[in-house]
Amino acid sequence: MSPYQSLINLSTKLGCKVLINEPLKKYTSFKIGGPADLIVYVNNEKNLIEILTHIYEYEIPFFTFGNGSNLLVSDEGYRGVIICLDGDLKCIRKENDTLITCGAGAPLGKACVFAMKNELSGLEFAWGIPGTCGGALFMNAGAYGKDISNVIFKANHVTPDGKTCTLRQDDMNLSYRKSLYSDNPFIITSISISLDKGIYEDIKLNMRQIVLKRKNKQPLEYPSAGSIFKRPVGGYYAGELIENCNLKGTAIGRAMVSTKHSGFIINTGNATAEDVSNLIKLIKEKVYNKTGIMLECEIKTLGNISI
């Protein structure tokens, strides 16, 4: 029996949904990406360990997917297994007066609403970031002057050979859009967030204001992966540098520099990963030639694609 077939059998036996040859464009916010050999929806930590042990034993390539909101997936897709966190790995619970624990597969937005309903303040900045809790920690996602490092208390992960581990904030090497997880093939299974007691109406108002700012500034009506580039050092903004190079509205194929926010590349309809990759390279070149600043991508890639 092939390693894939035995993985399908094992996953099915454990009650984990499996999809074969599924186009990843259905699962990315860019709406781009070819098929993955397998997608496995893992429903709890015990089954994750069993599945990972199998993957490790047979040396099958794997990749952990969050909400696919910071990913450019190649047009050829991915030869390996996509792990999606499901079931118990999406649950959110209150630990004590100010600490909540979120399954890494839980949408970050759900964590924001949970915090608001429990009158816990501190996570409002994350309202509107369309990732999962695991993806947010991996990226140290942030907005409006705050990021996950400001609220994370601890997190659990599983190593590729199936060992569980807990890390405290201090051990996570959190910096601008980077964490220890970005450099290691760990699967984050849950994150615990430490918040302050707040007032429901204040938190709600804050979240509403944040979402309005996003709607005004970001091209949310088009598929995208958010800001393509990191903020360069020296107080510059990638969007501003791109705009100063007259690249607003520049398109390759169906990938276009947004006219609303030059830091976003939008998919105007059936864009390919290659369109996006070529547009990123063009932007980098033009910005470098004009300013001497080499932009660095914030988005991650999967499959055979260079940016």
Query: Contact, 151 vs 123, CB < 8 A?
Result: yes
| Residues pairing with 297 in the sheet | 229
**Residue closer to ligand FAD, measured from CB, 66 or 286:** 66
Minimum CB distance to ligand FAD, residue 191 (Å): 9
- What gap in Å lies between CA 85 and CA 161, rounded to an integer? 17
**Residue closer to ligand FAD, measured from CB, 74 or 286:** 74
Strand bridging mode 300-302 / 71-73? parallel
Residue tagged active-site, from 69, 177, 192, 224: 177
- What gap in Å lies between CA 256 and CA 81, rounded to an integer? 30
Q: Assess 138 for contact with ligand FAD (CB under 6 A).
A: yes
Q: Assess 187 for contact with ligand FAD (CB under 6 A).
A: yes
- Sheet holding 264-267: strands in order across? 224-227, 264-267, 255-257, 251-252
Tokens of 174: 């959190």
Q: Assess 142 for contact with ligand FAD (CB under 6 A).
A: yes
Phi, psi of 144 (to 5 degrees): 50, 45
# binding residues, ligand FAD (CB under 6 A): 33
Strands (E), 221-299: 224-227, 251-252, 255-257, 264-267
Binding test (CB under 6 A) with ligand FAD, winner from 4, 14, 29, 236? 29
Q: Is 177 a catalytic residue?
A: yes
Q: Mask 242-281, x = binds ligand FAD (CB under 6 A)? A: ----------------------------------------
Tokens of 61: 């390539």
Q: Is 175 a catalytic residue?
A: no
Q: Assess 103 for contact with ligand FAD (CB under 6 A).
A: no
Q: Assess 222 for contact with ligand FAD (CB under 6 A).
A: no
**Residue closer to ligand FAD, measured from CB, 17 or 300:** 300
Residue tagged active-site, from 227, 258, 262, 277: 227
- What gap in Å lies between CA 130 and CA 144, rounded to an integer? 15
Minimum CB distance to ligand FAD, residue 291 (Å): 23
**Residue closer to ligand FAD, measured from CB, 24 or 241:** 24
Closest CA to 225 of 254, 267, 190: 267
154-183 residues in contact with ligand FAD (CB under 6 A) are: 181
Q: Is 296 a catalytic residue?
A: no
CB atoms within 10 A of CB 181: 23
- What gap in Å lies between CA 101 and CA 194, rounded to an integer? 9
**Residue closer to ligand FAD, measured from CB, 157 or 284:** 157
Instruction: Select from 7-15, 66-74, 240-248, 253-261 the region that touches ligand FAD (CB under 6 A).
Output: 66-74
Minimum CB distance to ligand FAD, residue 76 (Å): 18
Q: Rounded to a whole number, what is the distance in angstroms from the first to the last CA of the chain?
A: 37
Give the 3-state secondary structure of 202-232. HHHHHHHHHHHHHHHHCCCCCCEEEECECCC
Binding test (CB under 6 A) with ligand FAD, winner from 11, 47, 70, 267? 70
Q: Assess 226 for contact with ligand FAD (CB under 6 A).
A: yes
Side chain identity at 305, as an amino acid letter? I
Strand bridging mode 120-121 / 99-103? unpaired
Q: By CB under 6 A, name the binding residues for ligand FAD.
A: 29, 63-71, 85, 104, 129-132, 134-136, 138-139, 141-143, 181, 187-188, 218, 220, 224-226, 300
Active-site residue set: 177, 227, 298
